Amino acid sequence: MASASLNTKPHRRPRASDYLIASKRCELGNLERFLQMGKLILSAGNLIHRLQRERGASNVFLGSGGTRFSGELEAMIRDSDQQQTAFERELMEIQGELTLHPTSTSLLNSIAAALHGLESMPDLRHGIRRLEISAETAIHAYIDRIRHLLTVVFDAAETVVDPAIAGMLVALVNLMQGKELAGQERAWGALGFSRGRFDPALSRRITHLIDAQEQSFVVFGQFAVPDLLALWKGHHLEPYWQELQPLRGLACSAGRYRPLDAKLAEQWFALMTRRIDQLKDLEDRMEDHFHRRCIERYTEARNALAHEEKLTESLDESGYAPQPVLVICGTSHPDRAGNFTHSEAGRILGRSIMDLVRQQARRLDQVNQELNRSREALEDRRAIGKAAELLMQHQQVGEDEAHKQLRKLAMDQGRKLPEVARSVISMSGLLR
């Protein structure tokens, strides 16, 4: 005798829609956090720019024995202090999020190092005003503080999970790195011109800084959007660029026995400042473009989440959501089994969920491919920086000399610079 029994005990089962919505909420949360992080990146970039100008002016001041740029230096110190206050204010606004829900130990460490360096700025400036420290010492002190701030930007960039934003940040990081190398060129050149001479070591340093800038700008060009890349290329067509080249030539080849007019220091500083200010303008445009793209992606993600939540609600209302378990032990009317299946509306909505899952999977696959490309570029930059730090510690050389050694190794071995950097890191135990 056929019989049927119905188990009506509710059984909650996991649904694809639950995890799809959770994925969208995670994406939305990441974008929301990165909108806040973008403000920190902008503020750090502004502080770096002020410290770069202060560094250049301090070297004209120190190189001239305190006879030049005294007033300009004081004005630049005030500008730096104001921007440092703005940076610290932005940091306080996101401190809770960074410390309660940390996403990167590297970022927290780099922020700590940057703040520690900024705390000692008054002592550095006091020594400069009183001519108690050498210009070389001052330059290295500024380089160290700016390097920590650049690392904050770099580590913040590594927390992004959206490929469109990640690519823009790779371009921004390399533009800022190239700009910092241009700032170092301005500082060392200001020292040489204000002293009226360049010894061979200083000329080699300037040459290295020019070459290293170009490497950063090559990577910038690979990730920059076309209109900003065109703007950067246009810088080389401006009159100041042509005026700068002869001074660069003198800095790279004058030699210790060829005296130079110390007044050239002011011309050098003005032309290099024009170049760096243009790079800063480009940096600001990139940050504005980046901020607008963040808002666009946030809006897109929020709308997608709302759509999928609405779809899930429709599924629940249609009865497609988890059903009681139906157990058919036997029946003399098998054609009636269709009466116990889900409604046609439920099947349509079910297919919609599957379409969304597949669409999300395809999009995430594309996202991962693009993110991998961006992260490889960031990892290359990190490896080069880490290898340079190891050489600085082991050989007691400056940052630019360490980078010069890495580039020479790459050329001698016919290998790419990031590959050589990783080899140096892998042998770090032997360097100690």
Residue by residue, pLDDT tens for the chain (432 residues) are 444 445 555 566 777 667 777 877 887 877 887 788 888 899 999 999 999 999 999 999 998 999 999 999 999 999 999 999 999 999 998 888 777 766 678 889 999 999 999 999 999 999 999 999 999 999 999 999 999 999 999 888 877 767 767 788 889 999 999 999 999 999 999 999 998 989 888 998 999 899 889 889 998 998 888 999 999 999 889 999 999 999 999 998 866 657 888 889 999 999 999 999 999 999 999 989 888 888 888 888 788 778 777 766 665 555 544 443 333 333 444 444 444 344 444 444 444 545 555 655 565 566 566 666 666 777 777 778 788 888 877 777 777 778 778 888 777 777 788 887 887 777 765 555
* pLDDT score for 337: 40
Cβ contact 265:63 at 8 Å? yes
Q: pTM value?
A: 0.74
Q: Which tokens hold the place of 316? A: 């629940």
* pLDDT score for 401: 78
Q: Which of 37, 168, 161 is nearest to 110 (CA)?
A: 37
- Cα–Cα distance between 34 and 40 in angstroms, integer? 10
Q: Which tokens hold the place of 75? A: 């004005």
Q: Identify the residue whose tokens are 């049927």.
A: 4
- Cα–Cα distance between 72 and 77 in angstroms, integer? 9
Q: What string of DSSP letters covers 204-224? A: HHHHHHHHHHHHHHHHHHHHS
Q: Which residues contact 352 (CB under 8 A, 6 or more apart)?
A: 311
* pLDDT score for 302: 84
* pLDDT score for 413: 74
* pLDDT score for 7: 53
Can you give the length of the chain in residues?
Answer: 432
